[in-house]
Chain A
Amino acid sequence: MNKVLDELFVYPKGLVDEESKRVIHLVRQWADKEIISKRQEYRENYEKLFIETRKSLNLTIGLQRLTLPEEHGGFGWNNPASAPGIASVLTEIGRADAAIGVATAVKYTMLAVITMAPNFDKALCDALAPVYCGEELKTFSLILPGMGNVGQDTPLFLGRSILASVEPEGDGYVVNGKNLRPINSGAVADLFCVVCADKTGKPCIAFVPGDNTNIVRGKTLLETGLNASSNADVSFNNVKIPKSYVISRQGVVEELYTWLNLLLGGVSVGTGMNFFEMVGDWSETRTIKGGYMMKENPLCASVLADVADEVFTSRLFLYDLAQTISKPNDWGQSSSQRVYTIAQVLGSKIQQNVMRAINRGLELMGSAGYSKEWHVEKHWRDIKTIQSYLCGVGAEAPVKMDTARFFFDCKDI
């Protein structure tokens, strides 16, 4: 397949400025050179190369500091107007490896609630940036509210159980929570961001350094995909943190969801685009019915059309969401119910589309689609894992309720 992806999967180019395009180009070069051109080697030495490629991305290229303000040594992409550029970067990373994409998306999501205008929290940025966005590669982990257990009566964030709590103690806070399931990297995280409830049950978020001895990490989970992220359940037992590490402004949890949907959407769109490249190559090199090139068979072509269609529309949805976030004067802040709901709706659609694209494409690849040798099965597992995490509870029950609440003014759901 020799076609230029950006000319096939069009997006509003005007949303991304020239400086951003240079960074995006750099990330695409990294993806092609370090992963895509040597998939076999990457797969066979995955644990080692996962770390090395993350280092080259985060430290050599410097993406660890992408969303930090310039005065903190960052690229200065800490304005909502940068949303399309950040999403584009995640797309390029996702095209190479969704697990690196998720780790990066979570990092930018957590930093967004600290650094994004107009809510730039200088004190917290001063405290965290030098340690977690410096010269060493650091891993961030996000713990969202989700499902509870029968017998528990938990505070809720729009229906989701908040299983962690913060309480003031001395000049700081203590964080508690048992067996919390992060989205990623629980076993290895250097910094956690946890959605907690305060004493009144009001949602807030707490940043918890991973080196606290009162943090207990469970065994590393074996999951369908994204295993390189080394996830594990985490318990916080009276973990003390400074007062400034808790953010309780109105809508801060919604902000997390908004950015997470955008950035994981970016990862999945990138993965979908790479799957498109792979299935395209397959369809040009395989014959069926005794000699016809696969893509020239109308039935196979219709399946290929589905693949293209789903990836194409998912990329448009991604930039629709990025544009919405980038224009707070038009649509509201990322914490607003409108933008939060749009992010949920479009984020969910993107994941569904890419999942369907891969499921359809696998039908054409038969057993090869299932074999690790052909690499597409990793994309399939990774995207399903992202989708399941984003669903939160009960197959997107909260997303559906958020959507109905916004569009139909439901009061009791």
Chain B
Amino acid sequence: MKNFDEFSKPEEYISPMDKHIRSVIRNWADKEVMPYRRKYDEDWKDHHIIEPAFDKLMGNSGIGLQKALFPPELGGWGIGQSDSAFTISCALAEEVGRADTAMAVAFMVTYWPLTTILVEPHVNWRLAKEFAPMFCNAEKAVFAANAMTEPQGGADIENLELTGGKTIRTVARLEGDEWVINGHKLWPTNSGGVAKLFVVPCTTKPGSTDLKDFAMIFVPADTKGVTQGGPYEKAGMAADKNSDIWFEDVRVPSWYRAHGPSMDAQVFREIIPWGLAASMGFMCGAMLNLYEILYDFVSTKTYKNKPLKEDDHIASIIGRIAGDIDICRILSYEAAKMGDRRNKPYGYPIYSDEVACKMRNLKDFVSDRAVDIFGKAMDVLGPYGADREYDIEKHWRDIKIIQLWMGGKQLCQMEAARYFFNCKTL
């Protein structure tokens, strides 16, 4: 094998932009991130080292990726209207994730709330025009966040099928032509003072299970009444800040609601596959980097005075690791293509059970394999496995949280059971 690019991906799925966009981002990653990423853990609070790299990835002073989802007529690249939006996202997630999965999530979560108003067929032109300058005209990185999780319920909010939104305690009340929002959210990526724009999943009628009462409302971070706590200190993912956010009588124009009754619940369901597909991309990127590092290690270190890779037993372990990376990459692209088939006659809408459940299933599988092979790779490195100099341990710490987020493993299992076995009460 020549290099990590040879890991399988379904070539017929690949977007024409893939090669060029990968080349640009890989250049950025190798130059702006890889040499510095071992210092990121200590930079978790201030982002002195991390922030300039984001600027060069996302802002107009660099590659300008933060505007990619916006339509060209608003200054963007039009990826939101592309038939390959998921596949391109998968490539972006891989390339940035190869360098640092936390940077990948912070960057791509900026797209996450915006998919609800920028991706065909749900383009909300008024909101797109409203927020385009924030992202398309900025020299530096500008972030958005999806303020979803609440203190009392963990992943309940993502389990709309079961709860119908009845557990949501963040409440939006319509007063004249304004929404007044009150509530408390936890853990959104790009909180802790990073994001300039939030989307806030909330309810217009506390306790209701009617999905017409579920709302997604955009809230600029500098709106009066929005308070963000300091970032949490975590086991890893230093480039991704998370904190508490309080909304106290926060007032925004009524048209900041993404789409309106029922449609908000639908687009909320639609953002889940985006998050799942991107998660798989992040993990595949990290796994590609694992392969690069492991290749060098097993070629230069010895057991019984032979290179590790030439020992039959160790070869069986690293062979399985590489095999799993290959399979996970194929599955990730399959998930992305599932999203890109959303408007095709043979595809399913991304709010459908078919897409949501199958993607959860794939993400669960890829997460399990990623957690397993990173742990195994650390063991291959033995006394060097825990050493930050080899970078594998960083990915090991980071990818665990990818397994845990978005409802974690158990929600994936429940969704799979519901779909494949027609369970009625889970």
Contact = CB atoms under 8 A, between A and B. Distances in A.
Contacts of A393: 301, 303, 308, 314, 382
A150 interface: yes
Contact of B235 (A289, A370, A388, A400): A370
Given A287-B152, A395-B380, A397-B314, A371 B234 contact: yes
A211 interface: no
Given A303-B410, A366-B404, A389-B383, A397 B159 contact: no
A283 to B, nearest CB: 12
B290 interface: no
A224 B391 CA distance: 10
Contact of A290 (B156, B371, B400): B156
A389 B386 contact: yes
Contact of A394 (B155, B236, B303, B409): B303
B227 interface: no
Contacts of A291: 167
A127 interface: no
Interface string B383-400: 111111100010011001
A152 B311 contact: no
Interface string A368-381: 01111100010011
B248 interface: no
Interface residues on A, range: 35 or more
Contact of B404 (A363, A384, A385, A400): A363
B396 A394 contact: no
B413 interface: yes
A183 B386 CA distance: 11
A124 to B, nearest CB: 26
Contact of A391 (B301, B385, B413): B385
B383 A394 contact: no
Contacts of B307: 150
Interface in B408-422: 408-410, 413-414
A303 to B, nearest CB: 7
Contacts of A58: none
Contact of B305 (A153, A373, A377): A153
Interface stretch (A16-24, A141-149, A188-196, A260-268): A141-149
B63 interface: no
A288 B371 CA distance: 25
B115 interface: no
A239 interface: no
A395 B242 CA distance: 34
A300 B409 CA distance: 11
A154 B305 contact: yes
B77 interface: no
**Which residue, A221, A364, A397, has most C-beta atoms of chain B within 10 A?**
A397
Given A161-B305, A289-B162, A370 B300 contact: no
Contact of B400 (A364, A370, A387, A396): A370
Interface string B163-189: 100110000000000000000001100
Chain B interface secondary structure, helix, strand, loop or mixed?
A: helix
B382 A394 contact: yes
A160 B314 CA distance: 13
Contacts of A400: 313
B339 to A, nearest CB: 25
Chain B, interface residues (CB within 8 Å), range: 35 or more
Given A299-B414, A371-B233, A385 B303 contact: no
A276 to B, nearest CB: 19
Contacts of B156: 288-290
Contacts of A355: 375
Contacts of A384: 375, 378, 386, 393, 396
A388 B162 contact: no
A373 B231 CA distance: 11
Given A147-B302, A366-B404, A393-B308, A299 B410 contact: yes
B232 interface: yes
Interface in A282-330: 286-291, 299-300, 303
A224 B397 contact: yes
A225 interface: yes
B166 A290 contact: yes
Most A-side CB within 10 Å, residue of B149, B311, B379, B405: B379
A147 to B, nearest CB: 4
Interface in B217-237: 232-237
A365 B154 CA distance: 9
B121 interface: no
Contacts of A354: none
Given A286-B154, A389-B382, A394 B317 contact: yes
A398 B234 CA distance: 34
Interface in A385-413: 385, 387-389, 391-398, 400-401
A397 to B, nearest CB: 5
Nearest to A286: B154
B400 A388 contact: no
B388 A366 contact: no
A363 B408 contact: yes
Interface string B290-307: 000000001111111101
B381 interface: yes
Contact of A370 (B152, B304, B401, B414): B401
Contacts of B404: 362-363, 365-367, 369-370
B159 A289 contact: yes
Nearest to B162: A289
B376 interface: yes
B153 interface: yes
Name the residue among A147, A289, A392 with the largest chain B CB count within 10 angstroms. Answer: A147
With a 10 A CB-CB cut-off, give which of A289, A377, A385, A388 has the most chain B CB atoms.
A388
Given A149-B300, A181-B383, A380-B235, A367 B401 contact: yes
A145 B164 CA distance: 59
Given A377-B234, A394-B317, A362 B400 contact: yes
Contact of A388 (B308, B313, B383, B414): B383
B410 A300 contact: yes
Nearest to B232: A371
A394 B387 contact: no
Given A221-B389, A222-B387, A389-B386, 17 more contacts: A147-B382, A150-B307, A161-B302, A183-B383, A221-B388, A286-B154, A288-B154, A363-B408, A367-B149, A370-B236, A370-B400, A377-B234, A381-B397, A384-B393, A389-B382, A392-B383, A398-B303
The 9 lowest CB-CB distance pairs between A and B, nearest first, are: A388-B385, A395-B379, A394-B314, A224-B386, A377-B235, A148-B302, A385-B386, A222-B388, A223-B386
17 contacts: A150-B299, A153-B305, A226-B386, A288-B154, A289-B162, A363-B408, A366-B155, A370-B237, A370-B400, A380-B400, A388-B378, A388-B381, A388-B386, A389-B382, A393-B303, A394-B317, A397-B303
